[in-house]
Amino acid sequence: MNQYFVSPYRTEGVYINATPTADGMAMGVTVTGEAFESSSKPKKAQKIEKLKHRLELGVGTNFADSSAQAGAAEFLTQDELIDEAQPFSYVNYQYQLGGGDFLEAEFLPSETRRRGVVAKDFTVDGVDYRVGDEVLTAYRHWVLGGNVYKGLSLTDNLQFDVGLGLYVHMIGLDVDVDDGGGRYANEEDWKALPAGTAKLNWNMTQNFSLQTNVQYQGWENDSYFLAEAGVRYQLNKAWDLGIKYAYTRTELDQKDSFFYDYDSSSVVLTFANRF
């Protein structure tokens, strides 16, 4: 929020304030005549440097029952998702190298939680769960990695980026009995996969752009596929927001009670700042 309010690109004459109250918070917006003045009016000179950094926050929901595909359907009965639309967020950082080339690093943690009754005996980190036990589970898939991209300007409005990188995947399962806990167990597995990515950006208008992103990660019997498509609106030189659809497919070697064969289907809102 501070990064927005101190930005030289924010709209002059629009001010937002927040005040704590006895039982919550009050928010207000003040709009002065300055916000409606002609853009042709001379403005104070500002020293604007090249914006080489870009930080994007994504907030979304996964509508696919990934944990059921990952083993819950076999090991649990009378089960249900705790969050029908499983929320998640991610952060993506880019640094411009020049000539359209850039570096990228991103962190994508996700978790699916559910409760149910054990339908088939299983063991997690030495703790046994037997048929009939009522349990809570949390299935986690965290992804951390980065790429280096070569940017290619196909036309004035069409940008194509090709990248190579490396990602680390952490798959985790947390289990405990539903009635008061006391039998918690956790198990994790780690995978490292090289990646190839292709991004396409088409500037439809001065402010709106259409973006697609396809990424494949793979090594031996392990693979991870990502496909995204969405639109982005450029508020000003420093800020943009967008919405996109993302599909992923994970196929990793199985370990013990883990199943690493599932997909996700998500709608994501994005907010980005260049600085």
Would residue 25 count as lying in a domain? no
Would you say how long the chain is, in residues? 275
CB atoms within 10 A of CB 65: 19
Taking the C-alpha atoms of residue 253 and residue 270, their distance in angstroms, rounded to an integer, is 32
Taking the C-alpha atoms of residue 245 and residue 265, their distance in angstroms, rounded to an integer, is 8
Provide the token pair at 70. 């990952």
Residue of 205, 257, 258, 274 whose CA lies nearest to 55 = 274
Would residue 164 count as lying in a domain? yes
Q: What is the largest CA-CA distance in the chain?
A: 75
3-state class of 267 per DSSP?
strand
Place of tokens 């190579």: 164
Would residue 37 count as lying in a domain? no
Would residue 4 count as lying in a domain? no
Would residue 27 count as lying in a domain? no
Would residue 44 count as lying in a domain? no
Residue 16 pLDDT = 73
Give the chain's domain count.
1
Would residue 191 count as lying in a domain? yes
Place of tokens 């990424």: 215
pLDDT digits (tens, 9 = 90+) for 5-60: 666 666 677 777 778 888 888 888 788 887 677 555 555 545 556 789 999 999 99
Looking at residue 116, which CATH number applies to its domain?
2.40.128.100
pLDDT digits (tens, 9 = 90+) for 245-256: 999 999 988 765
Quote the domain boundaries for residue 120: 53-274
CB distance 202 to 232 below 8 Å = no
- Interacting residues of 261 by C-beta distance below 8 A, sequence separation 6+: 69, 70, 250, 251, 252, 254
Would residue 48 count as lying in a domain? no
Residue 17 pLDDT = 78
